[in-house]
Structure 1
Amino acid sequence: MTLSTPTGKPRFRSLGVKLPGQPGPGNAITDVPGVAVGYTTLVIDDHVRTGVTAILPRPHADVAHPCAAGWYSLNGNGEMTGTTWITESGALSLPVLITNTHAVGPCHRGVVDWVATERPDGAHEWLLPVVAETWDGYLNDINGSHIQPWHAIAAIEAAQPGGMDEGSVGGGTGMNCYGFKGGSGTASRVVAHGRHEYTVGVFVQANFGARRELTVAGIPVGDALADDNPLEDWSVARPGAGSVIVVIATDAPLLPGQCTALARRVPLGLARTGTTGSHFSGDVFLAFSTANEGALTSGFPHPEKEFEDLRFIPWSHIDPFYAAVVQSVEEAVLNALTANETMIGREGHRSPALPRERLATLLNR
């Protein structure tokens, strides 16, 4: 398990604080076999702080093979496209992209263009990509149309398994969390099931929470870290606003309804970090299972395929997977906060870094 990102940024466990559960070898969503993550990060002059994150449920060559999937919204002040088709079919079969609120359209187009060019057989019917967003307008010129379809394509092309960066990268570049610099975070847990072991991995784009709410490893620390909070004094933003997107991946065989049940557990992990769920935060979550490849072919009818089969974890054994989601979500948020430095963006707006040494002192007390 890594204590720093591939670029040397510290992760939460580097502070010496223990968290429950057994992480995977990289403590990341990419611990789930076949899952890949790619970033396009845009930091230009003093006004552009944004980007795109691409999560591939399967390797590039197999990306059109459906996964069982489900989703859940804690609060609807946000966007995640493609969810009505997931509700209808129980399947996800394209890269998942996360970006800023006003870049959903270009990223949606980018997925379509990438599939049409690189996987043309998958573009003969219809494409309903999943693109989600959180708001980065405090640090980023969000109305400037800086993200274009080719940025989305670049993130998809850059996706790879294994070690991945966190903090101010990809779609998380301009995001804030609990009044500190937030952004991209990940974590994982290993779940034993009889003779088998499965991995639950989580990716979070963290852009939510008021400073006073911040809770770390069960200890309320927000009031003790209340100073240096320029975001709260900014007239446009409301404390707690901004949104959070969470993507859950697992190689455990699950039904679509079980994926939805995993997505419904995300708020329990977020609540461990202190949030009560702001009305001005779009909190939308997606879960998918990479097992049962070859099933859930939700395109036009296949005459040669009269039935499909799904192998799945019995509902009576699902609780350890719920625990893995809650634990991973909590740690992914803390990683997004820890793997960051202070950022200054448009109009001189500043988002301070989490004071790691002060936090470690508070927790060790």
Structure 2
Amino acid sequence: MYAQKPRARDLGIQFEGITGKYNAITDVKGVSVGHSTIISGNGKNELGKGPIRTGVTAIFPSGKKKKPLYANWYSLNGNGEMTGTTWITESGFLETPIMLTNTFSVGKVRQATLKWMVDSSWSKEDWWWAFPVVAETYDGFLNDIYGFQIQEKNVLEAINNTTTNKVEEGNVGGGTGMMSFGFKGGIGTSSRVLKFPDTTYTVGVLVQSNFGDKRRFRIDGVPIGKELKDTLNPKYKAPPKSRRKNGDGSIIVVVATDVPLLPYQLKRISKRVPIGIGKLGGIGANGSGDIFIAFSTANQEAYIREGKTTVETVSNDWMNDIFDATIQAVEEAIINAMVSAETMEGINGNKVYALPHDKLIELMKKYNRIK
């Protein structure tokens, strides 16, 4: 077990909504998350040798056997990649795990995931195919990204490490080398519990956060970025062909819920993710890959090969509460990623600092957000 890192609520930051047990995407029953984190070497970047600051994160929506679930996705700005989405649009189903990694490792992770699916007898069918969902953000400011460091063993490690309990955040898995709003970013998660007549549902979110312009960064309306504009700015020489400037970067957001939703409703959920991002100062910058996917663990018998089946869904009049929960969880997950992240030095001595907890608390008190 890992040591739980500080999270936003541990600093006294206030959020709306009721969280689940872990305040994580794993509060949605059946969802599991695992990481493989690769940190090695220091100093000058030697192509193919390091330093290495990268990894893989695996998200299993419903166990490690094929169990297609209703899903849909949305891109706020498409300077990024999430494989398998065209079939999700066409079929309405997510049929594979969701894997997160760095920009140049999408192919390797996709291939290794597919190989694992074959070797593990993912499907009981005699003949099947699948389009693994793999999403990315760019970690080339700290990592030897041009060295293609992710290997099959790292993908298998992430898959084998999956748990339905607490989720490690910050400099882990696919988020190892990421930065957000000028500070260290990475993996973050949060959840919200919704109470409807005669039933309770959960919405869980996981982010791989690597986006944002420091000047725009705010929490609960407090202009954190402006207040800290001269504090702990990243020290790096951008690698060749780098496109990161003026808030460019990327963020991948995965939304899970046990609310029985149809694909068109899940599309609506994924389109609310940008509101949570916008509350913190994200604008979907020109060079940013802001791509989101939402799935429901309900209606697990909806996927059939022949005949007809019966599914259930909730009224569209209930959607507002689900929208609200999604927005709240996205906002908190991003802040959790930053609060949990630690200062990291990578290639060529490039250094990205953690969001300073003491100064953050001081500012939130200054603006009367916490006592």
Q: TM-score, normalised by structure 1?
A: 0.94
Hey, what's the Cα distance between the residues in 1 that align with 2:152 and 2:124? 18
Hey, what's the Cα distance between the residues in 2 that align with 1:231 and 1:87? 41
Match of 1:54 among 47, 55, 58: 58
**2:68: which partner in 1?**
66
Match of 1:242 among 239, 244, 249: 249
Mark the CA change 1:234 to 1:223 in structure 2 (over 3 Å): closer, same or farther: farther
Deviations 1:34-54 (A, max 9, x none): 000000000011210000000
Q: RMSD of the alignment, in Å?
A: 1.5
Alignment of structure 1 residues 105-144 onto 2, 5 Å:
105-121=107-123, 124-144=127-147
Deviations 1:188-219 (A, max 9, x none): 00011211100000000000001111111221
Hey, what's the Cα distance between the residues in 1 that align with 2:91 and 2:208? 26
Letter in 2 for 1:203: L
Task: Tell me if structure 1 keeps the 8 A contact 2:95–2:130.
Answer: no
Match of 1:258 among 265, 276, 300: 265
Q: Percent identity?
A: 46
**1:42: which partner in 2?**
38
Task: Tell me if structure 1 keeps the 8 A contact 2:191–2:329.
Answer: yes
**1:84: which partner in 2?**
86
| 1:153, distance to aligned residue in structure 2 (A) | 1.9
Letter in 2 for 1:86: I
Letter in 1 for 2:16: P
Hey, what's the Cα distance between the residues in 1 that align with 2:276 and 2:112? 32
SS in 2 for 1:50: strand
Mark the CA change 1:119 to 1:226 in structure 2 (over 3 Å): closer, same or farther: same
Task: Tell me if structure 1 keeps the 8 A contact 2:141–2:236.
Answer: no
Task: Tell me if structure 1 keeps the 8 A contact 2:217–2:225.
Answer: yes
SS in 1 for 2:145: coil
SS in 2 for 1:114: helix
Hey, what's the Cα distance between the residues in 2 that align with 1:157 and 1:94? 15
Match of 1:96 among 89, 93, 98: 98
20-29 or 220-229: bigger deviation: 220-229
Hey, what's the Cα distance between the residues in 1 that align with 2:34 and 2:185? 18
Alignment of structure 1 residues 1-365 onto 2, 5 Å:
6-46=2-42, 47-60=51-64, 63-121=65-123, 124-227=127-230, 228-230=232-234, 234=238, 236=242, 237-297=244-304, 301-302=305-306, 306-365=307-366
Hey, what's the Cα distance between the residues in 1 that align with 2:30 and 2:235? 38
Task: Tell me if structure 1 keeps the 8 A contact 2:192–2:325.
Answer: yes
Q: TM-score, normalised by structure 2?
A: 0.92
Hey, what's the Cα distance between the residues in 2 that align with 1:120 and 1:156? 13
Task: Tell me if structure 2 keeps the 8 A contact 1:179–1:231.
Answer: no
Deviations 1:106-126 (A, max 9, x none): 110111111101125357221
Mark the CA change 1:6 to 1:12 in structure 2 (over 3 Å): closer, same or farther: farther
Mark the CA change 1:341 to 1:121 in structure 2 (over 3 Å): closer, same or farther: closer
> Runs ≥4 in structure 1, deviation > 2 angstroms?
120-124, 230-237
Unaligned ranges ≥5, structure 2 = 43-50, 367-371
Letter in 2 for 1:359: L
Task: Tell me if structure 1 keeps the 8 A contact 2:78–2:290.
Answer: yes
89-98 or 230-239: bigger deviation: 230-239
Deviations 1:72-102 (A, max 9, x none): 0000000000000000000012110000000
Q: May I ask how many residue pairs the two structures share in their alignment? A: 353
306-315 or 329-338: bigger deviation: 306-315
Task: Tell me if structure 2 keeps the 8 A contact 1:6–1:164.
Answer: no
Hey, what's the Cα distance between the residues in 1 that align with 2:30 and 2:74? 24
Task: Tell me if structure 2 keeps the 8 A contact 1:24–1:199.
Answer: yes
SS in 2 for 1:218: coil
SS in 1 for 2:111: helix
Letter in 1 for 2:182: G
Hey, what's the Cα distance between the residues in 1 that align with 2:89 and 2:236? 37
